[in-house]
Amino acid sequence: MKIRFPNYKENFIVPSVLSADFTRLAREIKGVEKYSGWIQVDIMDGHFVPNLSFGPHITRNLRTLTRLPLDAHLMVQKPMAFIEPFRKAGADLITVHLESENFPEALKEIKRRKLKAGLALRPKTPLAKAGKYLKEIDLLLVMTVEPGFGGQEFIGGMLDKIKAAKKIRENEGLSFHIQADGGVNEKTAFDCLEAGANSLVMGSALFSRKNPAFIKALSGKIKKF
């Protein structure tokens, strides 16, 4: 089926299914998809980050549940080994880390397979290291916590990285999404938007909430921002 990927000039919530209740995954996705730009699947290999998460089967299952684009965020040491399995599983965007092995080749391989390509930066990685790749990508993911661990506090200093990325995008006439991921909630979401992010990854702030009015209200404010 044909999947439309959102324009970078629009603002979106991007639910991270890592925080969803997998005993009721279909209901969880239906509860947030009308407020969402796409769905993120966090892939951890136990090497690049200490924790383990999902394989391609979760992406394949999600593909049957939603028509939203799916982003496989590869927190893995060797991303080249993961691109084709996640393409087959139904990913529309694959995001690799600049700190991973052979990431330039991985970006090229993602584009060769006609997918959207994302590049992620850990908090300690300077934006300057991504400079020459910004013309090649569809999304720049600025990690606002250290990847691989839940429940961390938002790192406020990453707002300057987001601002700098937006300035480069404007000055060079580029069109990549700028995404903030980690500790994004009702307290930090608008700081990210003001800095220049248009894509806000949210996990527990969405799925742990019992009151769906929170999601609706936040989404409405983000889209009007």
Is residue 30 scored above 70 in pLDDT? yes
User: What's the confidence (pLDDT) of residue 187?
Assistant: 85
Q: Is residue 111 part of a domain?
A: yes
Q: Is residue 2 part of a domain?
A: no
Looking at residue 214, which CATH number applies to its domain? 3.20.20.70
Tell me the pLDDT of the chain averaged across its residues: 92
Give the Cα-Cα-Cα angle 196, 200, 203 (nearest 5 degrees).
160
Q: Is residue 7 part of a domain?
A: no
Active site residues: 42, 181
Task: Please compute the mean of the pLDDT values over residues 41-55 and round it to a whole number.
Answer: 91
Task: Please compute the mean of the pLDDT values over residues 5-32 and round it to a whole number.
Answer: 91
Q: Give the separation between CA 105 and CA 103, rounded to whole angstroms.
A: 5
Is residue 213 scored above 80 in pLDDT? no
Q: Is residue 5 part of a domain?
A: no
Could you give phi then psi for residue 196, rounded to 5 degrees? 130, -5
Contact 79, 103 (CB under 8 A): yes
Max distance between CA atoms of the chain, in angstroms, equals: 46
Q: How confident is the model at residue 15 (pLDDT cuts 50, 70, 90)?
A: very high
Q: Is residue 165 part of a domain?
A: yes
Q: Is residue 73 part of a domain?
A: yes
Is residue 57 scored above 70 in pLDDT? yes
| Strand 39-44 to 177-181 pairing | unpaired
Number of domains in the chain: 1
Q: Give the separation between CA 124 and CA 109, rounded to whole angstroms.
A: 26
Q: Is residue 176 part of a domain?
A: yes
Range of the domain at 127: 12-224
Q: Is residue 115 part of a domain?
A: yes
User: What's the confidence (pLDDT) of residue 212?
Assistant: 64
Q: Give the separation between CA 156 and CA 110, rounded to whole angstroms.
A: 31
Is residue 17 scored above 70 in pLDDT? yes
Q: In what order do the strands lie in the sheet with 199-202?
A: 12-15, 199-202, 177-181, 139-143, 116-121, 93-97, 70-75, 39-44
Of 130-144, 172-186, 201-215, the one with minimum mean pLDDT is 201-215
